[in-house]
Structure 1
Amino acid sequence: MASLKTLLYLGLFLFAEIITAADPNSKAENVRWTSLDFKTMLTWTTKTPQQTYTVKFSRPDGDWYEPHNCIEMTASECDLSAELRPFNVFYTADILTDNEDHDNDYGHDEFQHTESTPFNPYRDSNISAVEFSVRALNASTVRLDITDTLTSVHEGSKQLTIRDIFRKDLKYKIIYYKSGNTGNRENISDSSRAEVTKLDAATSYCFMVAAYIPSRPKSTQLGAWSRQLCQKTHGESNSMHELSTGALIAVIFVLLTVFIIIVTVTALCCRKRQQTDKSLQTTQSQTSAPV
């Protein structure tokens, strides 16, 4: 009886395994690409735990390749960052849900394969927020120095930036506004050093920057916006020019009045002195005359 019960349990177990292996719902589902700064991951979900997967992807030559880190894996993600070369072409991935009795023939068990949508790293990888600094050059111009974001791509010992990959396609979009004002202005820079001109003197402006690749589809043209930085433009070096027009006129009027008073008082003093000297000379002349 015990052996019969054991055989029954074994039969049920094998039957469950067969049903699971044949169930199309056990294969990978919800396959999607996620990519930030060319760190590209292929992710998926499954209804069957303790399952293993093997990932292959197609290159432009039409052949399929197996990345060594994504063979018979239990995780539900595969890092393809180092595999997708060149960047500006479309790749398609295929996820094979492995079975214990799988004979490694890629053509068999088609219901266990899940194919991804096409993915182009150059067009589709998202770009994170850039860092930048800002300083005033004069009363009407500020300069922004933008740091090109590092990617997950290495060539030898060098870690590439987005400028290394996009080259002339990379631009930067700058939005700015007067501090306390809601009206935005926009500027596009071809380089990582940008000058914003025609600003008001002695005025605080706030700036935000994002990578901008106009050759891409509209949905991925713009990277994430940076944090906001504010900078005040220079005033004139002569403090008199920092005054308002009305105050400047008032100061000039006061100075002119003081000048006129000084000149008038000086002139009156000189005249009185001359008169005193003349009277003294007349008195001395009369005293010295013979009787």
Structure 2
Amino acid sequence: MHTKPFSLLCVWLLVLGKEFVSGTFPKAQNVSWYSLNFKTLLTWGPKPVNYSYTVEFSKQNENRERNPLCIQTSDTECDLTADLKELKGRYNADVLSEPVRGLNPPDLIEPPHTTSAWFIPYQDTIIGSPEFKITVNEDQRKITLYVKDTPTAVLNEQKQRMTIRDIFKDDLQYKVIYRKAKSSGKKEKFSASSEIELTDLDRGESYCFNVQAYIPSRPIDKQLGELSQVQCSPKRDKSIFEEYSLAVIAGAILSIIVIISVVIAVIVLCYKRQQRAKSKAKERVPLRHV
């Protein structure tokens, strides 16, 4: 009665057994590293069907190791953040195609595997976009940016998260890109400090800023981190003395005085003419006899 399901199970086991004995499991494809702020994942594909993946990794010239969470797994990524302890070390990894958990191949059979490129956390991790605050000096002649050093996935001995400043130290700089709020012309400034002062600005103008980490010791294409969101300083209304030169203001005042003087002169002239007209009218009236 149950011979058909049993037969199908036997056929499936035979096929699976032939696969892992002959080493014909599909190899992992597109094995690559993805690392942001030192949180480092090894990724690959495709999703396995009737087989699993195991990840082996090593620092250059050292023995290979395995992460317990990435042995005979159906996942297509492995978090190796805590395993890459030497941040300036050079690592690579193999993704092995193996039977599903519980079905072990013979010891002599080497499973199909795909090797990753080399990866150095210190120079290859992407540095995320920083956060920063803007303060404008009271006299409007200086703007200061206070950049928050981005936290990373690396823990120190006290199990606290280290920042990129803790890791890169003097090798970390910041690049600032800025412009007037209503202009497309841009300027750049590099700073070794997280507190960045800008003094070549027009007083009272609103300026817009982008900030990104800059690590000059890295390869050129990896020196810059991700660009921050744009932030703009508030625009202050200028006083009349800031908006116009003294010559323009003096000219305007003089023009107003001239206009007022002309108006007064015209009023006085009109008044005198009116008085003369009244006097002449009185002179023409004959005297009455008593």
Query: TM tier, shorter chain?
Result: 0.7 to 0.9
Which of 124-133 and 111-120 deviates more?
A: 111-120
State the Cα distance separating 1:201 from its structure 2 match.
1.1
Question: Equivalent residue for 2:42?
Answer: 42
Question: Equivalent residue for 2:196?
Answer: 194
Question: Equivalent residue for 2:149?
Answer: 148
Does structure 2 conserve the Cα–Cα contact (< 8 Å) formed by 1:130 and 1:147?
yes
What does 1:208-247 align with in structure 2 at a 5 Å threshold?
208-232=210-234, 239=239, 241-245=241-245, 246-247=247-248
What does 1:280-291 align with in structure 2 at a 5 Å threshold?
none
Question: Equivalent residue for 2:180?
Answer: 178
SS state at 1:110 partner: coil
Structure-1 separation of matches of 2:43 and 2:160: 28
State the Cα distance separating 1:223 from its structure 2 match.
1.0
| Identity across matched positions, percent | 37
State the Cα distance separating 1:215 from its structure 2 match.
1.1
User: Is 1:169 aligned to 2:168, yes or no?
Assistant: no
Structure-2 separation of matches of 1:7 and 1:223: 58
Does structure 2 conserve the Cα–Cα contact (< 8 Å) formed by 1:140 and 1:233?
no
Stretches of structure 2 that go unaligned for 5 or more consecutive residues are: 259-290
The residue type paired with residue 59 of structure 2 is R
State the TM-score, normalized to the length of structure 1: 0.77
What does 1:9-158 align with in structure 2 at a 5 Å threshold?
9=8, 12-21=11-20, 22=22, 24=24, 26-46=26-46, 48-99=48-99, 100-103=103-106, 105=107, 108-137=108-137, 138-155=139-156, 156-158=158-160
Query: For 1:133-180, what per-residue CA distance to the aligned partner results, in whole angstroms no more than 9, with x for missing partners?
Result: 111124332100000111111112311011111111111110000111
Aligned-pair Cα RMSD in Å: 2.9
Structure-2 separation of matches of 1:109 and 1:174: 56
State the Cα distance separating 1:109 from its structure 2 match.
3.3
Higher helix share: 1
Structure-2 separation of matches of 1:235 and 1:11: 85
The residue type paired with residue 133 of structure 1 is K
Structure-2 separation of matches of 1:201 and 1:235: 10
Q: Per the alignment, do residues 25 and 256 of structure 1 end up closer, same or farther by CA in structure 2, a change over 3 Å counting?
A: same
The residue type paired with residue 228 of structure 2 is S
Structure-2 separation of matches of 1:74 and 1:2: 31
Structure-1 separation of matches of 2:7 and 2:235: 85
Q: Per the alignment, do residues 2 and 70 of structure 1 end up closer, same or farther by CA in structure 2, a change over 3 Å counting?
A: closer
